[in-house]
A and B are shown apart, each in its own frame.
Chain A
């Protein structure tokens, strides 16, 4: 059966450490952060960090960096661009998947709860193992496939209208917020490709320059790869780039019907 409970070694311990705010701090917020160290042999725990927000940047990532620099250097997380374009700092913040760098601490009520992206193996603390996620992306062959050689003197032409079809899906940064928010992906990520890989597949299916559209649809036409999508739409809700994987998947399903009739 699908696993609805965490394995015994993944259950979160009640007693995490608490790091008090410095004396005299006026504007204190508590960050409750999931901690897991595979080398310790201990179960995960939730540590609480009290921060003086008067000396902290506005975004959740600013708080994480402040904690790592000034309070607890063992806190482990991925980050790079700090402006929502690299997708590294994807995590579950206050119950929603999102990017810590473009999520303001002020937009969250009460304690700021932070955990890794759901339902992935945890490498350490807030770092999930996305190996399968990247393999799923690779499996849809995310590159232009053609048999017609490119014109010798110029690029392959595309109308503005056709370019606009790939503009939005091309903006995906592969942060995995969508796929890891999808219940179908939770239960069947070994066979369901998930919204991110399907959005990427759609990006190449609607590219007017690509000549492998039929083969791409053939590869997706599968009860698990594509049809595990039950239009739950958590993906679209979660996407920090405001993309619409659910619509892309719906249009792939429509194309599969259209080519039959």
Chain B
């Protein structure tokens, strides 16, 4: 959108057409739905498997995540969750944050934060899974 006085003098149709279509958005929308569908079984498994543990102390979780399938599913869940959250929070920011600079900075910060959280989660699971107890 044009801003300021030039925006007000522009015709209404010129303002609506603005910078044109981004010809994008479908990948984002589709990925958000696919990750949502993937999270139904993944998150369900995570909750049920965690509740099935006798406690959530270090030793128990270590033993749990030492099993390759459980470690793999937990890591997958963290990655899909991070992607889904990254997509979803970006939509919220686009909805409500309107200053051009504030919007861009928030979107960049959120993207970085989600990569960080996803990578840290996977690293932690790998370390628990492959490390020896007490290391």
Contacts and interface: CB of A to CB of B under 8 A. Distances in A.
B103 to A, nearest CB: 10
Is the contact region of chain B dominated by helix, strand, or loop, or is it mixed? helix
A220 B29 CA distance: 14
Given A134-B12, A136-B16, A223-B28, A184 B21 contact: no
Contact of B23 (A131, A132, A184, A221): A221
A76 B91 CA distance: 39
Contact of B29 (A190, A224, A227): A227
Contacts of A256: 26
Interface residues of B, number: 24
Nearest to A225: B21
Given A220-B21, A221-B25, A223-B22, A228 B95 contact: yes
Interface string A212-237: 00000011111111111010000000
Nearest to A256: B26
A146 interface: no
B98 interface: yes
Contact of B15 (A2, A135, A218, A253): A135
Contacts of A138: 13, 16
Given A139-B16, A190-B1, A224 B94 contact: yes
A223 B24 contact: yes
Nearest to B99: A1
A1 B26 contact: no
Interface in A154-169: none
Interface residues of A, number: 31
A260 interface: yes
B135 interface: no
A1 B97 contact: yes
Nearest to B11: A135
A132 B26 contact: no
Contacts of A191: 1, 18
Contacts of B26: 221, 227, 253, 256-257, 260
A184 to B, nearest CB: 7
A19 interface: no
B11 to A, nearest CB: 8
B25 A222 contact: yes
A11 B88 CA distance: 33
A10 interface: no
A188 interface: yes
Nearest to A220: B21
Contact of B12 (A1, A135, A226): A135
A242 B28 CA distance: 31
23 contacts: A1-B96, A1-B99, A2-B95, A135-B11, A136-B16, A190-B1, A190-B15, A218-B21, A218-B23, A221-B21, A221-B23, A221-B26, A222-B21, A222-B22, A222-B25, A223-B94, A227-B25, A227-B26, A228-B94, A228-B95, A230-B91, A253-B26, A257-B30
Interface of B: 1, 11-13, 15-18, 21-26, 28-30, 91, 94-99
Which are the 5 A-B pairs with shortest beta-carbon distances? Answer: A135-B12, A223-B25, A227-B25, A222-B21, A256-B26
Given A1-B96, A2-B96, 14 more contacts: A2-B98, A135-B11, A135-B15, A139-B17, A187-B95, A188-B95, A190-B1, A190-B15, A218-B23, A219-B21, A221-B26, A222-B24, A222-B25, A227-B25
